[in-house]
Amino acid sequence: MTGHIHSFESFGTVDGPGIRFVVFMQGCPLRCLYCHNPDTWTAGGTEYSAEEVAARALKYRNYFSGGGGITVSGGEPLLQKEFVTELFTRVKGAGLNTCLDTSGALFDSQRPQDLAALLAVTDLILLDIKHIDTAEHKKLTGHGNENILAFAKFLSDSGKRMWIRHVLVPEKTDRDEWLQALRGFLDTLKTVEKVEVLPYHTMGVVKYEKLGYDYPLRGVEPPTPARVENAKKILRAGYQPGFSAEN
Protein backbone atom coordinates (compact mmCIF):
# COMPACT_ATOMS: atom_id res chain seq x y z
CA MET A 1 0.00 0.00 0.00
CA THR A 2 1.36 3.42 -0.97
CA GLY A 3 0.30 6.90 0.06
CA HIS A 4 0.88 10.41 -1.23
CA ILE A 5 2.66 12.45 1.42
CA HIS A 6 3.34 16.15 1.61
CA SER A 7 6.03 16.16 4.30
CA PHE A 8 7.31 14.76 7.59
CA GLU A 9 8.17 16.30 10.95
CA SER A 10 10.58 14.26 13.07
CA PHE A 11 10.10 15.86 16.48
CA GLY A 12 6.58 17.27 16.63
CA THR A 13 5.38 18.51 20.01
CA VAL A 14 1.95 19.98 19.21
CA ASP A 15 0.20 17.11 17.40
CA GLY A 16 -0.67 14.76 20.23
CA PRO A 17 0.96 13.66 23.48
CA GLY A 18 4.73 13.61 23.89
CA ILE A 19 7.19 13.79 21.03
CA ARG A 20 5.63 12.73 17.72
CA PHE A 21 6.77 11.69 14.28
CA VAL A 22 4.22 13.58 12.17
CA VAL A 23 3.17 12.55 8.66
CA PHE A 24 1.36 15.23 6.63
CA MET A 25 -0.76 13.59 3.94
CA GLN A 26 -1.47 15.23 0.59
CA GLY A 27 -5.00 16.18 -0.39
CA CYS A 28 -7.95 17.76 1.44
CA PRO A 29 -11.66 18.19 0.59
CA LEU A 30 -12.05 21.33 2.72
CA ARG A 31 -10.92 24.85 1.84
CA CYS A 32 -10.67 26.48 5.24
CA LEU A 33 -10.23 30.23 4.93
CA TYR A 34 -7.51 30.21 7.58
CA CYS A 35 -5.65 27.13 6.30
CA HIS A 36 -1.89 27.54 6.65
CA ASN A 37 -1.11 24.51 4.45
CA PRO A 38 -2.80 25.28 1.09
CA ASP A 39 -0.01 23.34 -0.59
CA THR A 40 -1.62 20.14 0.78
CA TRP A 41 -5.02 20.71 -0.84
CA THR A 42 -4.61 19.11 -4.25
CA ALA A 43 -3.33 15.75 -5.43
CA GLY A 44 0.40 15.25 -5.68
CA GLY A 45 2.98 14.87 -2.98
CA THR A 46 5.61 12.13 -2.86
CA GLU A 47 4.61 8.49 -3.00
CA TYR A 48 5.81 6.25 -0.16
CA SER A 49 4.94 2.74 0.90
CA ALA A 50 3.54 2.19 4.39
CA GLU A 51 6.61 0.07 5.10
CA GLU A 52 8.93 2.97 4.19
CA VAL A 53 7.09 5.45 6.41
CA ALA A 54 6.93 3.01 9.32
CA ALA A 55 10.69 2.50 9.05
CA ARG A 56 11.23 6.28 9.17
CA ALA A 57 9.08 6.63 12.27
CA LEU A 58 10.67 3.71 14.07
CA LYS A 59 14.12 5.28 13.75
CA TYR A 60 12.96 7.76 16.42
CA ARG A 61 11.31 5.27 18.78
CA ASN A 62 13.83 5.94 21.56
CA TYR A 63 12.53 9.51 21.77
CA PHE A 64 8.90 8.48 22.15
CA SER A 65 8.94 7.43 25.81
CA GLY A 66 6.29 9.11 27.94
CA GLY A 67 3.41 8.74 25.52
CA GLY A 68 4.91 9.90 22.22
CA GLY A 69 4.51 8.12 18.89
CA ILE A 70 3.28 8.78 15.36
CA THR A 71 0.63 11.26 14.23
CA VAL A 72 -0.87 11.29 10.74
CA SER A 73 -2.23 14.70 9.78
CA GLY A 74 -2.88 16.54 6.54
CA GLY A 75 -4.30 17.63 4.36
CA GLU A 76 -6.94 15.10 5.33
CA PRO A 77 -5.70 11.60 6.20
CA LEU A 78 -9.12 9.98 5.72
CA LEU A 79 -8.70 10.52 1.97
CA GLN A 80 -6.04 7.79 2.19
CA LYS A 81 -7.48 5.72 5.03
CA GLU A 82 -6.30 2.36 3.68
CA PHE A 83 -2.70 3.58 3.64
CA VAL A 84 -3.00 5.05 7.14
CA THR A 85 -4.54 1.78 8.38
CA GLU A 86 -1.58 -0.22 7.11
CA LEU A 87 0.91 2.30 8.48
CA PHE A 88 -0.70 2.30 11.93
CA THR A 89 -0.91 -1.49 11.94
CA ARG A 90 2.82 -1.69 11.27
CA VAL A 91 3.90 0.82 13.90
CA LYS A 92 1.48 -0.42 16.57
CA GLY A 93 2.93 -3.87 16.08
CA ALA A 94 6.28 -2.31 16.97
CA GLY A 95 4.88 -0.66 20.09
CA LEU A 96 4.24 2.93 18.93
CA ASN A 97 1.30 5.07 20.00
CA THR A 98 -0.88 6.15 17.04
CA CYS A 99 -2.75 9.42 16.63
CA LEU A 100 -5.05 10.55 13.80
CA ASP A 101 -5.51 14.29 13.18
CA THR A 102 -8.65 14.73 11.09
CA SER A 103 -11.56 17.04 10.36
CA GLY A 104 -13.90 14.04 10.20
CA ALA A 105 -15.55 15.59 7.14
CA LEU A 106 -15.41 12.32 5.17
CA PHE A 107 -17.27 10.31 7.80
CA ASP A 108 -20.36 8.55 6.42
CA SER A 109 -22.83 7.79 9.20
CA GLN A 110 -24.50 5.24 6.92
CA ARG A 111 -21.22 3.32 6.54
CA PRO A 112 -19.30 3.66 9.83
CA GLN A 113 -17.81 0.23 9.20
CA ASP A 114 -15.62 1.83 6.52
CA LEU A 115 -13.46 3.25 9.31
CA ALA A 116 -13.54 0.23 11.61
CA ALA A 117 -10.14 -1.13 10.58
CA LEU A 118 -8.45 2.25 10.94
CA LEU A 119 -10.01 3.09 14.30
CA ALA A 120 -9.02 -0.33 15.63
CA VAL A 121 -5.35 0.65 15.28
CA THR A 122 -5.78 4.31 16.33
CA ASP A 123 -5.08 5.19 19.97
CA LEU A 124 -6.21 8.84 19.86
CA ILE A 125 -8.13 11.09 17.48
CA LEU A 126 -7.42 14.81 17.23
CA LEU A 127 -10.74 16.07 15.89
CA ASP A 128 -10.85 19.55 14.39
CA ILE A 129 -14.27 21.11 14.91
CA LYS A 130 -14.05 24.21 12.76
CA HIS A 131 -17.44 25.71 13.62
CA ILE A 132 -20.50 24.55 15.53
CA ASP A 133 -22.95 26.32 13.19
CA THR A 134 -23.28 24.44 9.91
CA ALA A 135 -24.07 27.53 7.80
CA GLU A 136 -21.03 29.34 9.20
CA HIS A 137 -18.99 26.17 8.79
CA LYS A 138 -19.86 26.15 5.09
CA LYS A 139 -18.77 29.78 4.73
CA LEU A 140 -15.53 28.92 6.51
CA THR A 141 -14.64 25.64 4.78
CA GLY A 142 -16.90 25.14 1.78
CA HIS A 143 -18.81 22.30 3.50
CA GLY A 144 -21.34 21.90 6.29
CA ASN A 145 -20.43 20.31 9.60
CA GLU A 146 -23.02 17.52 9.81
CA ASN A 147 -20.55 14.72 9.07
CA ILE A 148 -18.03 16.12 11.54
CA LEU A 149 -20.48 16.31 14.43
CA ALA A 150 -21.80 12.84 13.57
CA PHE A 151 -18.24 11.54 13.62
CA ALA A 152 -17.66 13.05 17.07
CA LYS A 153 -20.80 11.32 18.37
CA PHE A 154 -19.76 8.06 16.76
CA LEU A 155 -16.31 8.21 18.36
CA SER A 156 -17.86 8.98 21.74
CA ASP A 157 -20.35 6.12 21.46
CA SER A 158 -17.52 3.81 20.36
CA GLY A 159 -15.36 4.69 23.36
CA LYS A 160 -12.58 6.22 21.27
CA ARG A 161 -10.36 8.79 22.96
CA MET A 162 -10.54 12.31 21.51
CA TRP A 163 -8.85 15.66 21.78
CA ILE A 164 -10.94 18.48 20.28
CA ARG A 165 -9.23 21.29 18.40
CA HIS A 166 -10.87 24.61 17.62
CA VAL A 167 -9.22 27.47 15.72
CA LEU A 168 -10.21 30.86 17.11
CA VAL A 169 -10.58 33.37 14.28
CA PRO A 170 -11.84 36.93 14.83
CA GLU A 171 -15.06 37.57 12.89
CA LYS A 172 -15.29 33.91 11.79
CA THR A 173 -15.39 31.64 14.87
CA ASP A 174 -14.95 33.99 17.82
CA ARG A 175 -18.39 34.85 19.16
CA ASP A 176 -19.49 33.91 22.64
CA GLU A 177 -22.74 32.34 21.40
CA TRP A 178 -20.84 30.09 19.01
CA LEU A 179 -18.34 29.08 21.67
CA GLN A 180 -21.13 28.38 24.15
CA ALA A 181 -22.95 26.24 21.57
CA LEU A 182 -19.75 24.29 20.95
CA ARG A 183 -19.34 23.83 24.71
CA GLY A 184 -22.88 22.46 24.86
CA PHE A 185 -22.11 19.95 22.12
CA LEU A 186 -18.89 18.84 23.80
CA ASP A 187 -20.82 18.18 26.99
CA THR A 188 -22.75 15.47 25.12
CA LEU A 189 -19.54 13.57 24.35
CA LYS A 190 -18.14 10.99 26.76
CA THR A 191 -14.57 10.48 25.57
CA VAL A 192 -13.14 13.98 25.09
CA GLU A 193 -9.94 14.22 27.13
CA LYS A 194 -8.74 17.65 26.08
CA VAL A 195 -9.80 20.80 24.25
CA GLU A 196 -7.21 22.89 22.45
CA VAL A 197 -7.98 26.50 21.53
CA LEU A 198 -5.70 27.33 18.62
CA PRO A 199 -5.36 31.08 17.95
CA TYR A 200 -5.54 32.01 14.27
CA HIS A 201 -2.22 33.18 12.82
CA THR A 202 -1.02 34.55 9.48
CA MET A 203 2.10 32.42 9.02
CA GLY A 204 0.61 30.75 5.96
CA VAL A 205 0.26 33.95 3.93
CA VAL A 206 3.62 33.44 2.24
CA LYS A 207 2.49 30.05 0.94
CA TYR A 208 -0.57 31.60 -0.71
CA GLU A 209 1.65 34.15 -2.39
CA LYS A 210 4.05 31.48 -3.68
CA LEU A 211 1.13 29.45 -5.04
CA GLY A 212 -0.46 32.50 -6.64
CA TYR A 213 -3.58 32.24 -4.44
CA ASP A 214 -5.46 35.19 -2.97
CA TYR A 215 -5.32 35.08 0.82
CA PRO A 216 -9.00 35.14 1.89
CA LEU A 217 -8.47 36.56 5.38
CA ARG A 218 -6.16 39.38 4.44
CA GLY A 219 -6.48 42.10 7.07
CA VAL A 220 -7.82 39.78 9.78
CA GLU A 221 -5.51 39.94 12.78
CA PRO A 222 -4.89 37.13 15.28
CA PRO A 223 -7.22 37.14 18.32
CA THR A 224 -6.15 39.14 21.33
CA PRO A 225 -4.91 37.27 24.42
CA ALA A 226 -8.10 38.34 26.19
CA ARG A 227 -10.29 36.68 23.54
CA VAL A 228 -8.20 33.52 23.63
CA GLU A 229 -8.61 33.33 27.40
CA ASN A 230 -12.32 33.99 27.01
CA ALA A 231 -12.64 31.05 24.60
CA LYS A 232 -10.74 28.78 26.97
CA LYS A 233 -13.01 29.74 29.87
CA ILE A 234 -16.18 29.09 27.87
CA LEU A 235 -14.98 25.77 26.53
CA ARG A 236 -13.89 24.63 30.00
CA ALA A 237 -17.05 25.70 31.80
CA GLY A 238 -19.07 22.88 33.37
CA TYR A 239 -16.91 20.08 32.11
CA GLN A 240 -17.74 16.62 33.32
CA PRO A 241 -15.59 14.28 35.46
CA GLY A 242 -12.78 12.78 33.44
CA PHE A 243 -12.77 15.70 31.02
CA SER A 244 -9.63 17.83 30.80
CA ALA A 245 -9.68 21.13 28.87
CA GLU A 246 -6.15 22.43 28.46
CA ASN A 247 -3.91 24.73 26.43
Q: What is the pLDDT of residues 183-210, one digit of tens each?
A: 999 999 999 999 999 999 988 888 888 8
Domains in the chain (CATH in brackets) are 2-236 (3.20.20.70)
Closest CA to 74 of 84, 65, 86: 84
Instruction: Give pLDDT, residue 36.
Output: 87
Count of helices and strands (H, E) across the chain: 8, 8
Spans of the chain, pLDDT less than 70 = 238-247
8-29 pLDDT, tens per residue? 999 888 899 999 999 999 999 9
pLDDT value for 76: 96
- Which 8-state DSSP code applies to residue 238? T
Give me the pLDDT at residue 125, please.
98
